[in-house]
Amino acid sequence: MSSRLRKWLLTSPPAEWAINQLRELLIGALRQGPVPRHIAFVMDGNRRFARDRRIESIEGHHLGFEALAKILEVCYKAGVTHVTVYAFSIENFKRSKYEVDALMDMAKVKLNQMCQHGDLLDRYGACIRVLGQRELVKPDVLKAVDKAVEMTSRNGNAVLNICFPYTSRDEITTAVRRTVDEWSQPLPERTGASPFKEDRIAQNIRKQNKKGNGNDTEGTYLSPPTSMLSPSSSTTSLSSNGDSLPDSRSSLSSSTTLHQSSSPPLFAADPKDALSIPSPEPTLPPLQQQQQQQQTSPPTYHPSPEAITPSTLTSHMFTADNPPLDLLVRTSSVHRLSDFMLWQCHQNTEIAFLDVLWPEFDLRTFLPVLWEWQWRQKKMRSENEDGKGRVQGRERSDSRIRADRKRTVKRLVGEALD
């Protein structure tokens, strides 16, 4: 009886209005602090919720969708730009056919409905992306997916990633495969001569050397150009037009260009030289370059595998252009990642395991998570600032010394002129 009364009270218009205002206020307050840019949700617990309430499991999924809509509203209002949700795992195909079909149907209906309100979607400015193995989806659902993705692709403010038939291992595998694929494409031979000539550069180097350090470094300098010119005629023709490209791949492609890219660190002290020579591959430390230099292998027209870094793989993930994942929330007190965002969240992501079931998840349960994240972020920031403050102080004193020196030099010069 009392519960019914409470429900009646809470659903009465004035109470709802007041609650609404309070929510707006809290979200507004949340915006004042640091806000995660990218949050991922594992929507777990729909079926258990349905079982507990003795309703059909698909009803549970519908309620889960409502919860998702509410949470998305909170996220976007609070200033989260990227939200990733785990909607359907590849493993979920193991569930009963009835449930899988019902889920697919639900996805289709929702996406189709969304497409009916195209101009309303624009107002939210959210762009929908579907991550995962598209081949596993039925064609009719895929059509709805493509339409929704296409319709929202122009929106740029916020992104909703729906992981549809997704597992993280599959994602990593795909990323590795794509990277390997990209790396095994032979580099296109470029036409059109570059404005720079190797001979001239070598001459300039020699000149600068004589002017600058004297004879002792000349030997080290002159050896690269000689070896540069020595390889077979085909390579020289390539290298002569291959040196002006800032593209990292081309600078690594032929052994001859490598010599050049390794030379700037030697005389980086002179800014003119560093400018006249195309910038070297920044990700490679000079040591590696020298190692490669020593292997006088025949020139391959493939990019060097050594140029693959963790960030290369990151850029081949489904979430390539998203900011790093700040927060991962999993509901229904399961303490596993279950093959979700493994690559993305193993670094600095805070993971929150909550005891509520997904349909019950709302602002009330979400706010403490966000507050805690903010609290930690603030603490970390203040600690960093302490550390940085010390470094900055040192830098400042350095710059002061430099300025002092400059002043004394000026004064001395002035005195000399007088």
Beta bridge partners, 127, equal: 159
Write down the least CB distance from residue 387 to another protein, Å: 12
Helix, strand or coil for residue 38? strand
Would you count residue 25 as binding another protein (CB under 8 A)? yes
Does 384 bind another protein (CB under 8 A)? Our answer is: no
Strands (E), 55-211: 82-86, 126-131, 158-163
Contact (CB, 8 A) for 67 and 101: no
Footprint (CB under 8 A) of another protein, residues 74-103: 89-92, 94-95
Q: How many residues bind another protein (CB under 8 A)?
A: 84
Closest CB 377 distance from another protein, rounded Å: 11
Contacts of 182 by beta carbon, 8 Å cutoff, 6+ apart:
316
Question: What whole-number distance in Å separates Cα of residue 275 and Cα of residue 271?
Answer: 6
44 is catalytic: yes
Binding track over 105-124 against another protein, x by CB under 8 A: x---x--xx--xx--x-xxx
Span from 145-153, 181-189, 201-209, 233-241 in contact with another protein (CB under 8 A):
181-189
Q: What is the DSSP string of 174-194?
A: HHHHHHHHHHTSPPPPPPS--
Nearer to another protein, 193 or 375 (CB): 375
What's the min distance (Å) between Cβ of 237 and another protein?
22
Would you count residue 184 as binding another protein (CB under 8 A)? Answer: yes
Look at the chain and count its residues: 418
* Structural element, H or E, at residue 350: strand 350-353
Q: Which of 383, 385, 398, 404 binds another protein (CB under 8 A)?
A: 383
Stretch of 144-152, 220-228, 285-293, 334-342 contacting another protein, by CB under 8 A: 334-342
CA dihedral 304, 305, 307, 313 (to 10 degrees): 140
Angle, CA of 295, 297 and 301, to the nearest 5°: 125
Residue of the chain from 19, 268, 269, 275 that contacts another protein (CB under 8 A): 19
* 177 touches another protein by CB under 8 A: yes
CB of 230 to another protein, least distance (A): 24
- DSSP letter (8 states) at residue 307: G
Among the listed residues 195, 219, 298, 310, the single contact to another protein using CB under 8 A? 310
Report the catalytic residues: 44
